[in-house]
């Protein structure tokens, strides 16, 4: 199977998995090469290298992403995912997999961080 997801819903689950495992390679494969990630009060990240760098900073700050898709609006090869802690735009690629084009995350702190 190609990197990415078969559905926008699966993309959300894979993003959560990449955060839990703190796996930068798995995470960047969920994004289109020119994608944008914004979240955790950090500067906007564009492209795989910046997204991996920002993800590492989020993990160092013990920030989590929990998949909680509440509404998915799909038109052709584009989908808007409104989740409990995110608004994401995903696109289906030429190989049929879904990847993020834009991800706006409102990340949760881990329990350990909240109780410091």
How far is it, in rounded angstroms, from Cα 40 to Cα 98? 24
Which residues have C-beta within 8 Å of that of residue 25, sequence separation ≥ 6? none
The torsion angles phi and psi of 46, rounded to 5 degrees, stand at -125, 125
Mean pLDDT over 79-105 rounds to: 96
pTM of the model: 0.88
Alpha carbon distance 91, 94 (integer Å): 10
Average pLDDT of the chain?
A: 89
Calculate what percentage of the chain has a pLDDT beyond 90.
Answer: 76
Q: Cα(105)–Cα(78) distance, rounded to whole angstroms? A: 18
> Domains (ranges, CATH) in the chain?
8-107 (3.10.450.50)
CB 110 within 8 A of CB 58: no
- State pLDDT tens for residues 11-66: 999 999 999 999 999 999 999 999 999 987 889 999 999 999 999 999 999 988 99
**Which one, of 89, 70, 69, lies nearest residue 78 by Cα?**
89
């Amino acid at each position: 199977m190609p990197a990415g997801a078969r559905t926008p819903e699966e993309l959300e689950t894979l993003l959560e998995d990449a955060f839990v495992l703190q796996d930068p390679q798995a995470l960047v494969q969920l994004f289109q090469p020119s994608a944008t990630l914004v979240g955790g009060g950090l500067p906007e990240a564009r492209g795989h290298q910046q997204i991996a760098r920002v993800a590492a900073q989020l993990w160092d700050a013990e920030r989590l992403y929990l998949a909680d898709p509440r509404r998915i609006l799909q038109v052709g090869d584009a989908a808007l995912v409104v989740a409990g802690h995110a608004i994401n735009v995903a696109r289906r690629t030429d190989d049929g997999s879904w990847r993020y084009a834009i991800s706006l995350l409102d990340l949760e702190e881990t329990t350990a961080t909240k109780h410091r």
